[in-house]
Amino acid sequence: METTNTPKALILQEAQQQFFNQGYSKVLMADLAKQLGMSKKTLYQYFRGKEELLHAVIKHYLEALQREVENLLQQEEADFTRKAEEVFRTVGQRFARINGQLLTDIRKHTPKTWQLLQQYRTEAAFKRFRTLLEEGSQKGYIRKDANISLAVLLYASALEKILDPEFISQVPPELMKDIDYTPSAVYEGLANLIFHGLLEKK
């Protein structure tokens, strides 16, 4: 978000809170303007419509998350396992703030913003996750026979499907009841499976 108390920054802050809590469909520009103490005309001077406003909110949110993750990755002196856990926890907690209904609404009603989310997930997996695994390999935490590229591909593919509401709607209910389907749990669960696998050490 913008760091100053400009009208645009205040609009983004209030819009983020409403979108994340209520989803996209239930947020009305008239209500948002009233909450901000401004006219709809003033609101539309900054954003041409609700779709453009949502896109700006998500873009700012993802940019802040990217900076946060990059800072974690650059902490070379940090213990690798703790760093990895912190990266996945940070991403998961950030996405957990987004209302599940909002993700469904974005996919249905705002393809441009859905593409932005998908692009972030792809970059997060193919760039930042790969960077993390390569560091772990260099420091001896990753098995030498492990295929890092395959692990990255597996992670990226899993994220794309698991966080896709349309895909999840097709999953049998008896399977979903055993899954904590919060973004934070999904991110940490995938990381745990990739780093530790399924088999018990004997």
Residue entry with tokens 């772990």:
136
More confident residue, 117 or 58: 58
pLDDT, tens digit, 9 for 90 and up, residues 116-151: 988 887 787 788 888 888 999 999 999 889 899 998
Task: Give the Cα separation of 56 and 2 in Å (integer).
Answer: 11
CA dihedral in degrees (61, 64, 65, 69; nearest 10)?
Answer: 170
Answer whether 55's CB lies under 8 Å from 116's CB: yes
Q: Which of 132-136, 142-146, 162-166, 188-192 has the lowest mean pLDDT?
A: 162-166
Task: Give the Cα separation of 43 and 11 in Å (integer).
Answer: 8
**Confidence band of 103 (pLDDT split at 50, 70, 90):** confident
pLDDT, tens digit, 9 for 90 and up, residues 72-87: 888 877 788 888 888 8
